[in-house]
Structure 1
Amino acid sequence: MSVATSDMAEAIPERGRAVLIAGPTASGKSALALRIAESHRGVVINTDSMQVYRDLRVLTARPTPSDEARAPHRLYGTVDAAQNFSAGAWVEAAAAALAEARAGGLLPIFVGGSGLYFKALTRGLSAVPAIAPQVRDDVRARLEQGGVTALHAELAARDPVTAARLNPNDRSRIARALEVVEATGRSLSDWHRDALPPLLPPDQVTALFLAPERDELYARIDARFEVMLAAGALDEVAALAARQLDPLLPAMKAHGVPALIRHLAGELSRDEAAAIGCADTRHYAKRQFTWFRHQLPEFEWVRPEAAAALLIDQLAAASRLHG
């Protein structure tokens, strides 16, 4: 079903509504969000944990400057790679972007692949405060010196509930849980009971999950990685590697970054690094399907080619209902 641009522009939703567009990487989310933003006076708000980093425009497939010129975009490339940007920090930034959209009479369109961010929007988030850099550095130093097993044992003694829930080899989450205990004197499980309220009640959102066929998606992921390399992704990673940042920082673990750093160090060929980057991205896409299916069942699953027409129809219906 096709919809003319003039018809699309008529379907302006009522004040207070928001659009949520989720889906696995390379499923066409950004293109859909831009189309809706242009036709419905919208603002595109990044809901992806890697696209917040300014250092990785190419490798994280951030909107291009020309795309950003066609409609307002918020929370893209605003964070330095040296920062451990948390879900809580994103919620704070998203709240400001949402308020700005409301004040300007724009339709907020949240788009990305980070399930925790979408969950925070409609269900809230635990209220863990910011962790002082010196606490984080101390825990990470102990992790490097004593290993993950010793750090997990320390966490088990101080926060047994969280330690039992985590994989004993999950370096990042174990370190994070121990940082919280040391910085706040409270366990991570305690903080999770003090949730922040949701920014958007579920009845105020139109939420879609783009679900392409797996083989088609995986082929797009592989092809896109080669396009990224040709567009300068390796130069981005070289600049990032030159900063010698903590390898546990989120930006340093973006899909393709570790393998390309090994390529730059002479440990892997370009083709080997690309194969690892593609495989990591495909595995992540598979996890995205599983996470949204179980954690956010209220999202309506739709094939990408049908998403625009469905979303436009839903916005028009909402506008008529509340108009």
Structure 2
Amino acid sequence: MEETLREVADEGRVKDAVLIAGPTASGKSALALEVAERFGGVIVNTDSMQGYSILNVLTARPAPADLARVPHFLYGHVHPSTAYSTGAWLRDVERLIDEGALAGRPPVFVGGTGLYFRALAEGISAMPDIPAHIRDRWRHELVERGAPRLHRELMHRDSATAMLLRPSDGQRIARALEVLDASGRSIRSWQAERGRPLIDRASAHFFVIEPDRDALTQRINRRFDAMIDQGAMEEVRQILALHLDPALPAVKAIGVRELQSVLAGEMEAEKAMEMAKIATRQYAKRQSTWFRNQFGEEWRRLSPGEDMATIIRMSIEKRNR
């Protein structure tokens, strides 16, 4: 055990990782729990929305009873006022590695955020920490001056980066300017410094769920109905009480704006629920398309009708022989 801890800490890489990706409502959390229990593993959240606190129900976070069955990490640890990023998530995973939380037990990374899986398996460019006053300044400038004017400023200060961005792409333009102010370096120079993977790809197991579309639609509809019964409306009340910037990711979580309109008396509950279900189905379609186009041959596709848990178990046991 001590040797394993030293190996993980020294290399900064995790061996025998199991990666389970899939669109929302595809059953990936239950599958990950079954796999983790079978092999004495731990589960690491790999979904951008499930990292936020308060939104337990609306992000379909595992229930308390499931969280108690095996160790779960990076669930509900980020306040909704934070714009959590892929880089921040990767640093949190590194912290788990440094603390030895993933050593000696196979980690199961499960979620629906494709960029998190890519960063985990391929590494991403390091980026500087941006002081709050610098970030706030450029977000304010974007609102007050507009993207085209900020693009002209970026062209003057960092023309190579500006030429790669559309003058209307305000978020990326503001990001480039804040990195430049915080570090004195172009964002392109940071992006050129590729990070290293946190997992050992040779010993990792890659799986992506490809559910039947009609069955997934039914699951999404039933799940959102259940969310209302489980307290989704109260979660939205708590989010609104924080008076957060509407552009923050947590505030843009599916269901928040729809249920907010109900609380404001702007929409009937039935209509808002239908809109949230439609948005969820559209999101699941985008996720599936991303996985299909971005994940390579190393990813085993799990299809309807297959015993997914058995397939994963056999893959792991075969590797361990």
Q: Structure 1 length normalisation: TM-score? A: 0.87
Give me the whole-angstrom Cα distance separating, in 1, the residues matched to 2:88 and 2:101. 19
Where do 1:137-286 residues align within 5 Å? 137-159=136-158, 171-286=170-285
Q: Secondary structure at the match of 1:227?
A: helix
Shift of 1:166: 5.2
- Counterpart of 1:302 in structure 2 is 302
Indicate the residue corresponding to 1:6 in structure 2.
none
Question: Relative to structure 1, is the Cα distance of residues 50 and 311 closer, same or farther in structure 2, using a 3 angstrom cutoff?
Answer: same
| Structure 1 spans left out of the alignment, 5+ residues | 1-14
Relative distance call for 1:227 and 1:156 in structure 2 (3 A) is farther
Gaps of 5+ in 2: 1-13
Equivalent residues in 2 for 1:71-150 (5 A)?
Answer: 71-99=70-98, 100-103=100-103, 105-150=104-149
Who is 2:10 aligned against?
none
- Residue 12 of structure 1 is matched in structure 2 by none
Return the alpha-carbon distance in structure 2 between the equivalents of residues 29 and 85 of structure 1: 22
Residue type of the alignment partner of 1:263: V
Q: Look up the match of 1:38.
A: 37
Taking structure 1 as reference, are residues 231 and 190 closer, same or farther at Cα in structure 2, changes over 3 Å only? same
Partner amino acid, structure 2, of 1:19: V
Instruction: Note the C-alpha offset of 1:301.
Output: 1.1
Separation in structure 1 between the aligned mates of residue 155 and residue 216 of structure 2, nearest angstrom? 40
Structure 1 304/133 Cα, relative in aligned 2: closer, same or farther at 3 Å? farther
Q: Note the alpha carbon deviations across 1:215-240, whole angstroms, 9 max, x for none.
A: 22122122211211221111101111
Which amino acid in the other structure matches residue 296 of structure 1? F
Alpha carbons of structure 1 residues 161 and 35: separation in structure 2 relative to 1, 3 Å: farther
> How big is the shift at 1:256?
1.7
What is the CA distance between 1:34 and its match in structure 2? 0.5
Please give the alpha-carbon distance, in whole angstroms, between the structure 2 residues aligned to 1:214 and 1:164. 40
Aligned partners of 1:222, 1:174: CA distance in 2, in Å?
38
Report the Cα distance in structure 2 between the residues aligned to 1:241 and 1:37, rounded to whole angstroms.
36
Higher helix share: 1
Q: Closer, same or farther in 2 for the Cα pair 1:26/1:150, shift >3 Å?
A: farther
Change (3 A) 1:304 1:48: farther
How far apart, CA to CA, are the structure 1 residues paired with 2:184 and 2:251?
A: 29
Distance 1:31 1:41 in 2: 15
2:54 aligns to what SS in structure 1? helix
CA distance in 1, matches of 2:43, 2:304: 18
Residues 28-74 of structure 1, C-alpha deviations (whole Å, 9 max, x = no match): 01000100111110101101111111121100001111001111101
Task: Give distance in 2, aligned partners of 1:112 and 1:157.
Answer: 41
Give the secondary-structure state (helix, strand or coil) at the position aligned to 2:251: helix
Aligned residues: 305
Equivalent AA in structure 2 for residue 299 of structure 1: W
Partner AA of 1:303 in structure 2: S
Preserved CA contact (<8 Å) 2:16 2:200: no
Partner Cα distance (1:133, 1:25) in 2: 32
Does the residue aligned with 2:93 lie in a helix, a strand or coil? helix
C-alpha displacement of 1:201: 2.9
User: Structure 1's 268 and 71: CA in aligned 2 closer, same or farther, altered over 3 A?
Assistant: same
| CA–CA separation in structure 2 for the residues paired with 1:217 and 1:241 | 30
SS in 1 for 2:82: coil
Query: Could you tell me which amino acid in structure 2 is paired with residue 61 of structure 1?
Result: A
C-alpha distance in 2 between matches for 1:186 and 1:270: 49
Contact 1:101 1:108 in 2 (8 A): no
Summarize the Cα distance change of 1:170–1:233 in structure 2 as closer, same or farther, 3 Å threshold: farther
Shift of 1:205: 0.8
* Alignment partner of 1:313 is 2:314: yes
Shift, 1:167, TM fit: 6.1
Indicate the larger mover: 139-148 or 306-315.
Answer: 139-148
Matched with 1:56 is 55
Q: Distance in 2 between matches of 1:152 and 1:270?
A: 42
Tell me the alpha carbon deviations over residues 145-179 of structure 1, each in whole angstroms, 9 at most, x when there is no partner. Answer: 23444445544554555556556655544433332
Take 2:261 and 2:170, find their aligned partners in 1: how far apart are those partners?
20
- Mean Cα displacement is larger for which, 149-158 or 278-287? 149-158
Partner of 1:8: none
